Structure 1
Amino acid sequence: MTHWVPDLEGRQGPRYRAIADALSDDIANGRLAPGTRLPTHRDLAYRLGVTVGTITRAYTEAEKRGLIGGEVGRGTFVQGQRHMPPSDPFSWTPRPEPSVVNMTVVTPEHPMSVPMMGATLAAIGASPNLGALLEYAPHAGLPAHRAAGAQWLTRQHRVATSADTVLLTTGAQNAMAVALAAVARPGDVVLTERLTNYGIKTLSAVEGYHLEGIAIDEHGVVPDSFDSACRRLAPKALYLVPTMHNPTASVMPQARRVEIAAIARRYGVMLVEDDVFGFLVHDAKPIQAIAPDVTVYVNSLSKSVSAGLRVGYVVAPPALVPRVEAVIRALQYSSPPLPPEVATRWITDGSADRIAEAQRGEAMARQQIARSILPASAVCGHASAQHLWLVLPEPWRRDDFIAEALRRGVKVTGGDVFAVGRASAPHAVRLGLCHPHSRDELARGLRTLADLLENPQTAMLSIV
């Protein structure tokens, strides 16, 4: 561990930020080399005469900048400064070899949006309409923002909509909360896939919905299981992710979508369709476009354009729009208008389309890397998804595999995280392919996992 102490003399602003700035300077001038282990929070706090909390904030700030990374049980290490070559917007400088490859989340980087953001904010700052963006917006969003959302969803997701049925939210998780609150009450039964997006599990727990999982196969929700659940449980809604299902990355065929919509209409059940990954597959028509009368559609720009904008959309049947708007008012009054203004400008000038196209290309490239390294028998999911489902062969058990992968420097998410209720979770893991900062880092993590799959005797290590 280095005895590094930052020089804070003459640095303005909060102490934690001054420490992060000093760390950045010392990395840039070569005083701290990549891979250097930094002092512990307590040790550095003592040397600087500040609180441990200040050091924690400083290290967190430095990690956000990509300067350092923490490793469980080992400490905090310098990663160096990342850069973005103009020829390849996704070609970040790899982290140093000792760092953990994190595949637990499906959060793509959006490096193309970084330079765009500065120019866009400058243009907004010079706009005579800036003042309007600092006031409360209408509950459903400003008309121009709703119109741009309708254009985006129609162009990139093939949604059947217009500005008057699009309502703005703060990201997809907020859109899910709004959609469900518009059609269900605490205690009501809400159906979802037996394995589902973790976000709906946490949302249902907080809001008091009775979440019930129904059977899925390689094509998504099984119609007979949905029909049976409707008859037995009288649910208010079915939440589902038909395109790039989370976690299995499957895509529901068109005929299955028509069948699911018909069952929902037969029993008066509202479909809450989560289509955040829909931009990755242009030939997958949303259920909303098939049955807009029984579908509340939710989406966001997080996977396609920029996660930090927190711009989400709800598309509701016309009769339900007032109810959705009332829920938005109750939960948050309205979405902050500045992020949707950025999104609207990018949608209008084509920037958002260029970023989404780059994301599609990167997703397919990373899938190709994964499928060239991992055994084909274990890989499930669509070949252009930002994640994949890895089915573990015998004798691997999910918890043993996760623990051994982490011991070797790779973090993955177990299938139990996505299981609804007491349903038995498969011995499988989800891999977020888009989160590692470079293709080389991804490949390194995948080779580690492939080695584990090819040497299952390691699974016996935890058995005594």
Structure 2
Amino acid sequence: MHCTARSSRASCHHRSYHKPRNKHMSKDHQARRAPISLERSTPPACPNLKETVREGLRALSDSTEIQNGVRQHRFSGTEADKAHAAKWLGLRFQRAVDPQRIILTNGAQSAMVLALASVAAPGDTVLTEELTYYGFRKHAHLQGIRTETIAMDDDGAEPQAFEMACRKFAPKALFLMPTIHNPTTIVMSLERRQRVVQIARQYGVSIIEDDVYGVLAESVPAPFGALAPEMTWHITSFAKCVGPGVRVGYLVAPHGKAAQTTLDRFYGMSTWFAAPFSVELVNLWLASGSMQKIVAGVRDEAVARQRIATQWLAGISFRTRPDALFLWLDLEGIIDQDELVAQCASRNITIRPGRIFATDPKLPLNRVRLVIGSPESRDELEAAMAVVGGVLQGARKGAVAGVR
């Protein structure tokens, strides 16, 4: 996959030469006891998060109906919940969203379960890109749904590959992460989205859109949920723009009738319900404008952390964006992904090999994803990147020497 920027906010760094702040940090960090994780795509804490949480909890404690958060289920969300959600989603969709299309869930993964069951039955086929979020395949296979792979390029899913798969497999749906794709950070262009929609309409294929990173990205196209609402099951949550402790997700169905059919099918199965206290806190933040401030703070922190991370990657090819929570490193000709993972683990730094994102085991892949949001602080991120960068630079020099 080549490194090509596709918008003013997109940034694919190829062989960066920034000077790290502390070239001795790699050695110093080897004695660290507690491991630093660069595995999970957790957003960094914005500067005002602690106080915003305190203020929100104080406001909830003053509510005259606080006892309802303990005594009542939220089911798919109240009318007020969906009104708040519709207003928030409207900012992303760049148009009004019918509240009747919205189902509140206990996060994005619960929304995936509902969406999959709504578009496919056991034995049916759903398409994914050759690199994608591995959790989606697990959910599909648990429901007896087959997954097939289509090729990607620097703009995401290839239309020709999609159309060929439609003819070959007669799929029920296509799963996409078109905005800050996990793990590549690709943002699919508007032109590509429109072409995908055209093919999906032609073959009657639904689109399941995972947009959990969408609100972090600036100057990006509208989601499929807005471009083709009649065929799209749009998924988002607050786990990647606030934190995974905010267990609230939104599933936007193609229309109100589809949402109601899904609710009828899953009624009484409480594992996917959003927790009432989480919903109340989210509603409070949405109404007060605090949510937008939190997201802006997370975005700004991501930009700062991207600068820290990239300065340790001199001579290494990678792809990312300033507003992404991770980087996608190409290790070809430098070091095997498993060797890098092992060497970093021996120095108390945990990272994930790129192969876990591959949907085709035959796909030649020697990459890793580095997450910048999970370390507790910028200093902790720099300490971790010093280790990763040190291993990579040592391997790169060895590879160059071997060629000579």
Give your verdict on TM over 0.5. yes
Q: Which amino acid aligns with 2:305?
A: R
The residue that corresponds to 1:444 in the other structure is: 383
Pairing of 1:40-439 with structure 2 (within 5 A) = 97-110=32-45, 112-137=48-73, 139-156=75-92, 158=94, 160-284=96-220, 285-318=222-255, 319-329=257-267, 331-332=269-270, 334-375=273-314, 377-439=316-378
Deviates more, 1:240-249 or 1:102-111: 102-111
SS in 1 for 2:242: coil
Q: Counterparts of 1:413 and 1:251 in 2: how far apart (Å)?
A: 22
SS in 1 for 2:121: coil
8 A contact 2:248–2:275 mirrored in 1: no
SS in 2 for 1:379: strand
Q: Counterparts of 1:124 and 1:175 in 2: how far apart (Å)?
A: 26
Aligned Cα root-mean-square deviation (Å):
2.3
TM-aligned CA distance change 1:113 to 1:145, over 3 Å: farther
8 A contact 2:233–2:254 mirrored in 1: yes
8 A contact 2:74–2:276 mirrored in 1: no
8 A contact 1:191–1:239 mirrored in 2: yes
Per-residue Cα deviation, 1:355-410 (whole angstroms, up to 9, x for no partner): 10000101111112222221365111222101110110314111112111212332
8 A contact 2:247–2:275 mirrored in 1: no
Shift in Å, 1:241: 0.3
Shift in Å, 1:433: 0.7
8 A contact 1:160–1:288 mirrored in 2: no
Shift in Å, 1:145: 0.8
Q: Which amino acid aligns with 2:118?
A: A
Shift in Å, 1:238: 0.8
8 A contact 1:452–1:458 mirrored in 2: no
Q: Counterparts of 2:206 and 2:36 in 1: how far apart (Å)?
A: 40
Q: Which amino acid aligns with 2:37?
A: N
Shift in Å, 1:293: 0.9
Q: Counterparts of 1:327 and 1:124 in 2: how far apart (Å)?
A: 32
Deviates more, 1:321-330 or 1:193-202: 321-330
How many pairs align? 367
Q: Which amino acid aligns with 2:376?
A: H
Q: Which amino acid aligns with 1:110?
A: A
8 A contact 1:193–1:215 mirrored in 2: yes
Q: Which amino acid aligns with 1:304?
A: C
Q: Counterparts of 1:265 and 1:311 in 2: how far apart (Å)?
A: 31
Give ranges in structure 1 of 5+ residues lacking alignment.
1-93
Shift in Å, 1:144: 0.8
TM-aligned CA distance change 1:228 to 1:429, over 3 Å: same
Shift in Å, 1:120: 2.5
Pairing of 1:1-16 with structure 2 (within 5 A) = none
Shift in Å, 1:109: 4.0
SS in 1 for 2:136: helix
Q: Counterparts of 2:398 and 2:355 in 1: how far apart (Å)?
A: 18
Per-residue Cα deviation, 1:279-335 (whole angstroms, up to 9, x for no partner): 112322211111111111000011112321210001111141222222442542743
Deviates more, 1:356-365 or 1:284-293: 284-293
SS in 2 for 1:420: coil
Give ranges in structure 2 of 5+ residues lacking alignment.
1-28, 400-404
TM-aligned CA distance change 1:416 to 1:159, over 3 Å: farther
Q: Counterparts of 1:248 and 1:459 in 2: how far apart (Å)?
A: 27
Deviates more, 1:385-394 or 1:132-141: 132-141
TM-aligned CA distance change 1:274 to 1:129, over 3 Å: same
Greater Cα radius of gyration, structure 1 or 2:
1
Q: Which amino acid aligns with 2:365?
A: P
Q: Which amino acid aligns with 2:276?
A: P
SS in 2 for 1:306: coil
Q: Counterparts of 1:159 and 1:215 in 2: how far apart (Å)?
A: 31
SS in 1 for 2:311: helix
Q: Counterparts of 1:126 and 1:425 in 2: how far apart (Å)?
A: 57
Q: Which amino acid aligns with 1:441?
A: E
Q: Counterparts of 2:385 and 2:95 in 1: how far apart (Å)?
A: 35
RCO greater where, 1 or 2, for CA within 8 Å and sep 6 or more? 2
